[in-house]
Amino acid sequence: MKKQNLIWVMETLGSLYPDATTELHYSTPFQLLIAVIMSAQATDRQVNKVTATLFVHIRGPQDVIDMGYDAYENAIRSIGLYRSKARNIWKLVTSWKLQVVSLEDLNEEEKKVYNDWGYVIPSDINALMQLPGVGEKTAKVVAHVLYNKPVIAVDTHVHRVCNRLGIVKTKHPLQTSKLLEKKIPDDYKRIAHHCFILFGRYHCVARNPKCATCPVSKVCAYYKKIKKNSL
């Protein structure tokens, strides 16, 4: 896709979703972190259903420890892969990685989280990926939402949308993520992730995408192909 078309797509989606943000419900940084971990291979709706009750009791790492491993695992059992997620979150909360060695080791953003909440969540992608249960996609989501980092996490929705539009031509989400961070202009990186997710979740859906009412169909490679095949 030509750069001018890509910018037009970003402008259009930005106007379509002016308040685009995560649909996961949370009120503390730790809640965000574990909600994103739990959302892997699960829908935000499933996670929000669980956390509506869970987050009444869980606001920080110590709350999970106080609840106990078995009770926590049972509380999230309706979420896919709940056993492995419970194990990872338990390792996370009992790990030194959320503890402060020295405030001098923290940047200003991390210091604010520590001063406000009493624990540390790394802002660096590589540091986040050292946490149990945190892969690249999860790390990018947390860094983007919590610290407003200009990174683009790619889930199935983003991967599908960007390949259909012709922004990338990739087979795997991680390939898509790396290419998008090269292709998307810096001014649009902070909106790209959630705009693409919402567009894929509610418009450019996996089956029967709403091409007839698509606001960016005129530059879409997928739409051009189906129009050509219908002639």
Concatenated DSSP letters of 31-46: HHHHHHHHTTTS-HHH
137 is catalytic: yes
124 is catalytic: no
82 vs 88: CA distance, rounded Å: 10
Going by the DSSP 8-state scheme, the letter that residue 81 receives in this structure is T
223 vs 83: CA distance, rounded Å: 41
Catalytic residue among 44, 140, 149, 155: 155
Catalytic residue among 137, 149, 182, 187: 137
| Residue position matching structure tokens 């110590």 | 62
Query: By the 8 A CB rule, do 184 and 172 touch?
Result: no
Going by the DSSP 8-state scheme, the letter that residue 211 receives in this structure is G
Backbone angles phi, psi at 120, to 5 degrees: -115, 135
Q: Catalytic residues, which ones?
A: 137, 155
